[in-house]
Chains A and B, each alone.
Chain A
Amino acid sequence: MKNHFQGILMGAVVVGLSGFAGIASSAEMTYKAGDRSSGYTYATKETQGIQDDDIANPAYVYVDDGEALWSKVDGKAGKSCASCHAVDSAMLSDVGTRYPVYNAKLGKLQSLEQKINQEREEKMVAKPYKWESGSMLAMTIYMRNQSKGKPMNVSIDGPVIPFFEAGKKFYDQKRGQLDMSCANCHVDNAGNRIRANLLTEGQSNGFPTYRLKWQKPGSIHRRFRGCNKQVRATPYGYGSDEYVNLELYVAWRGRGLSVETPAVRN
């Protein structure tokens, strides 16, 4: 098995300017909101350039694939997403800012991936997508891309409170043989280099994000697993309650930052 501590340190060489003011190529993007900064502001000019250019951004093919899947009939009910939701629906324009959300029937949070699969199983009578599959990435990238430029805006009120608290607790808990919490790296040391890697605030506003190191876009849960493993901690499963709660907390940390999906990072 790969040595994960080594993993962080051998990762792609990041030579960015910390705290770069963020002169956006498209004027509507908010890369800084209050004391919060997107990973974009820590990225090199080169990486920013790839993200800014829809043609150069290798994840844009997923936007197109997702758009095609949106109106593709699948499953025993003979329906597509488009059978029930207009492509210009209000739902689609802000869904990328709001998830995870509380689902009263389940009595817990639901991530966008889980919502998509619920719709597939219940409304379309179709097979659920696997978490990190091309189809799931295409659908989530397409959907979040419809909210690009809008501020991250998860609800943390009412029934969400205990799940938010659980996410915060996870974030502050030291883990693994290296005994580090998310906060140790992404709050206490944002802007500092850990060997060759420049630590950012670990914001989620660009997910699913295209990572140059992965040569592929990945979900936020894939990133959580990577960050857990690099401190030699056992990761949780894709779609686990722990990660969905954590996802909510991380999304709240980035409130007000523009959705950037699909972002490009090292």
Chain B
Amino acid sequence: MGDRILAVWALGVVLSLGFSTNATAAEKLMKFMVKDGAIAKSLTGKPGDATKGRKLAISRKQGNCLACHKMPIPEQPFHGEVGPELNGVAGRLSEGQIRAMIVNPKMANPNTIMPAFYRNEGFTRVLKKFKGKAMLSASQVEDLVAYTMTLK
């Protein structure tokens, strides 16, 4: 209880000092077009970095794809069993389909447990700290697309 009051108070101070650019209002996302279940174009207009993408897939704070997917990342001990194994996925899906899957898998399957990594609204009771924010930035999504495309 005390925590919540403190948090509201702190936010008020931040707002009144004009520091807060993203704590309340939804952050702007890059525009993208979905066609036939795919997002053909890079969100940033540039290709991503597969090495960074691999790191994000491991990171418990950000991508954390390993939470649910088995991936060819042998140095990590625990791979999730919630989603399909991703090794070989680039042979099954196009780059645009993979991008759409990471951006918002609910477009393909509204009931999937997989989170949308590039969506910032339409959620229920998001913690204040994450309100209006997407889990990943556009360039992080592209890094993950680039890495996932190496899983042939």
Interface assignment of A3: CB less than 8 Å from any CB of chain B: yes
| Interface contact A192-B80, CB-CB below 8 Å | yes
| Interface contact B124-A175, CB-CB below 8 Å | yes
| Interface contact A175-B125, CB-CB below 8 Å | yes
Contacts of A194 in B (CB 8 A): 67-68, 80-82
| Interface contact A234-B126, CB-CB below 8 Å | yes
Kindly state the separation between the CA atoms of A266 and B125 in the bound complex, as whole angstroms.
27
Interface assignment of A178: CB less than 8 Å from any CB of chain B: yes
Q: For the complex, count residues of B whose C-beta is within 8 A of A.
A: 27
Q: Looking at the complex, which one of B79, B113, B128, B133 makes contact with A189 (CB distance below 8 Å)?
A: B113
Q: Which residue of B lies closest to A178 (CB)?
A: B115
| Interface contact B61-A6, CB-CB below 8 Å | yes
Contacts of B135 in A (CB 8 A): 177-178
Interface assignment of B106: CB less than 8 Å from any CB of chain A: yes
Q: Which residue of B lies closest to A236 (CB)?
A: B125
Kindly state the separation between the CA atoms of A13 and B106 in the bound complex, as whole angstroms.
30
Kindly state the separation between the CA atoms of A141 and B81 in the bound complex, as whole angstroms.
34
Q: Which residue of B lies closest to A174 (CB)?
A: B124
Kindly state the separation between the CA atoms of A10 and B60 in the bound complex, as whole angstroms.
8
| Interface contact A232-B79, CB-CB below 8 Å | no
Interface assignment of A87: CB less than 8 Å from any CB of chain B: no
Contact residues, A191-227 vs B (CB, 8 A): 192-196
A236-260 vs B, CB cutoff 8 Å, 1 = contact: the mask equals: 0100000000000000000000000
| Interface contact A179-B81, CB-CB below 8 Å | no
Contact residues, A89-115 vs B (CB, 8 A): none
Q: Looking at the complex, which one of A174, A188, A195, A234 makes contact with B128 (CB distance below 8 Å)?
A: A234
Q: Which residue of A lies closest to B134 (CB)?
A: A177
Kindly state the separation between the CA atoms of A9 and B63 in the bound complex, as whole angstroms.
12
Interface assignment of B129: CB less than 8 Å from any CB of chain A: yes
Interface assignment of B9: CB less than 8 Å from any CB of chain A: no
Interface assignment of A120: CB less than 8 Å from any CB of chain B: no
Contacts of B77 in A (CB 8 A): 196
Q: Which residue of A lies closest to B7 (CB)?
A: A1
| Interface contact B80-A232, CB-CB below 8 Å | no
Question: At the interface, is chain B mostly helix, strand, loop or mixed?
Answer: loop
Contacts of B126 in A (CB 8 A): 176-177, 232-234
- Given A6-B60, A9-B67, A195-B67, are A176 and B78 neighbors across the interface (CB < 8 Å)? no
| Interface contact B129-A195, CB-CB below 8 Å | no
Contact residues, B31-53 vs A (CB, 8 A): none
| Interface contact B78-A180, CB-CB below 8 Å | no
Most buried by A among B80, B113, B126, B135: B113
| Interface contact B80-A193, CB-CB below 8 Å | yes
Q: Output the least CB separation between A174 and chain B (Å).
A: 6
Contact residues, A149-205 vs B (CB, 8 A): 173-180, 184-185, 188-189, 192-196
Kindly state the separation between the CA atoms of A8 and B77 in the bound complex, as whole angstroms.
16
A interface list, Cβ under 8 A from B: 1, 3-6, 8-10, 13, 173-180, 184-185, 188-189, 192-196, 228-229, 232-234, 237
Q: Please name 16 pairs of A and B residues whose Cβ atoms are closer than 8 Å in the assembled complex, sorted by A.
A: A3-B60, A4-B127, A6-B64, A9-B60, A173-B124, A175-B124, A177-B135, A179-B124, A184-B113, A188-B113, A193-B82, A194-B68, A194-B81, A234-B125, A234-B128, A237-B1
Closest 4 CB pairs of A and B: A196-B78, A184-B113, A192-B81, A6-B60
Query: What 4 new A-B contacts, CB under 8 Å, besides A3-B61, A195-B60, A233-B124?
Result: A176-B125, A177-B135, A185-B113, A195-B66
